[in-house]
Chain A
Amino acid sequence: NAGVTQTPKFQVLKTGQSMTLQCAQDMNHNSMYWYRQDPGMGLRLIYYSASEGTTDKGEVPNGYNVSRLNKREFSLRLESAAPSQTSVYFCASSSGWVFNQPQHFGDGTRLSIL
């Protein structure tokens, strides 16, 4: 049982390049999330999708876009990467009603912007 799968696991970009992080879940969950994790900052929510066809901004959405492709897949796009976006990115999913349900996390994408 794969759970939440993120690709790629590692990526190095140059400033100004674009990239899409992929996330897929096989638990038939309605809600999906993208976070970034920086040292000493905990997790900060970038965007979330409460259900297929909807997306909403989280705490730190600037510089990112998302697409809920279908119920399984939720992608995060950096249109013009900046060094401040160097981080570890986590995708998560949950059943039921958004933030009051436990979330299942992928293993992360480690992204470096030079």
Chain B
Amino acid sequence: AQSVTQPDIHITVSEGASLELRCNYSYGATPYLFWYVQSPGQGLQLLLKYFSGDTLVQGIKGFEAEFKRSQSSFNLRKPSVHWSDAAEYFCAVGARDKIIFGKGTRLHILP
């Protein structure tokens, strides 16, 4: 069955430190991959997407993600986090007839 797993429910990092949020998926074909961010009380905002081509994709707010087919992963990274990055992050897999969201990773930033 198709699925998306975000292994970390919560992650805490210090401001200025690097960040990696994990996402693993199970899908038979090449999926369409997305990362979204949700600030408290708001809807989801697209950070970046992968459809095909270069496996390292750049997004907004200094985020990037790398698609690794062999590992079925699409991890989100940022070299140096800011306090404003505190939010919940969702990985999603889009297919022909459905979209599946991970359960989210809540990011906490220490000053």
CB 8 Å contact bits of A102-114 with B (1 = contact, 0 = none):
1111111000000
Q: With an 8 A cutoff between CB atoms, is A40 at the interface?
A: yes
Q: With an 8 A cutoff between CB atoms, is B41 at the interface?
A: yes
* With A42-B90, A42-B102, A42-B104: A100-B32 Cβ-Cβ less than 8 Å: yes
Q: For the complex, give the distance between the alpha carbons of A4 and B42 in Å.
A: 12
* B contacts with A, residue count (CB < 8 A): 23
Which A residues are CB-close (under 8 A) to B94? 99-101
A interface SS class: mixed
Q: For the complex, give the distance between the alpha carbons of A99 and B95 in Å.
A: 6
CB contact between B43 and one of A42, A58, A59, A106 (< 8 Å): that residue: A106
Least CB distance, A25 to chain B, in whole angstroms? 12
Pick the most buried of A41, A92, A105, A107: most chain B CB atoms within 10 A of its CB: A105
Q: Which residues of A contact B (CB under 8 A)?
A: 4, 40-45, 58-59, 90, 92, 98-108
Sample of 13 more A-B contacts, CB < 8 Å, known A40-B103, A99-B94: A42-B90, A42-B101, A44-B101, A59-B98, A98-B96, A99-B95, A99-B97, A99-B99, A100-B32, A102-B49, A104-B46, A105-B36, A107-B42
